[in-house]
């Protein structure tokens, strides 16, 4: 497992950034609960619930994603071949 990033309640960012951070936090929890070794029934149930929540969050993020705004910003960039 990689480094764990801690977040505070006064972090500023976009909705997408916060939702992706939440997905990352849940992913870390899921990794702990499903790591090799013995796990209690309660831990297995928590892992199942986290997986469901992560799936729902992923679906929400995918529905809300639009590449149009990225395309507009890319189109504004200067083309290095024409300068």
Residue 83 lies in a domain: no
Average pLDDT over residues 38-43: 95
63 or 53, greater pLDDT: 53
56, 26 in Cβ contact below 8 A? no
Domain residues for 20?
A: 15-76
Average pLDDT over residues 17-46: 94
- Confidence category of residue 80, pLDDT binned at 50, 70, 90: confident
Domain tally, the chain: 1
Residue 24 lies in a domain: yes
Mean pLDDT, the chain, rounded, equals 85
Residue 9 lies in a domain: no
What is the CB neighbour count within 10 angstroms for residue 33? Answer: 19
Residue 81 lies in a domain: no
Residue 7 lies in a domain: no
User: What pLDDT is recorded for position 1?
Assistant: 54
pTM across the whole model? 0.66
């Amino acid at each position: 497992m990689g480094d764990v990033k801690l977040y505070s309640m006064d972090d500023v960012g976009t909705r997408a950034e916060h939702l992706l951070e939440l997905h990352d936090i849940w992913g870390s929890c899921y990794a702990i609960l499903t790591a090799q070794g013995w796990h209690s029934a309660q831990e297995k149930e928590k892992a199942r619930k986290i997986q469901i929540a992560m799936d729902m969050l992923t679906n929400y993020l995918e529905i809300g994603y639009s590449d149009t705004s990225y395309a507009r910003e890319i189109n504004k960039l200067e083309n290095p071949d024409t300068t």
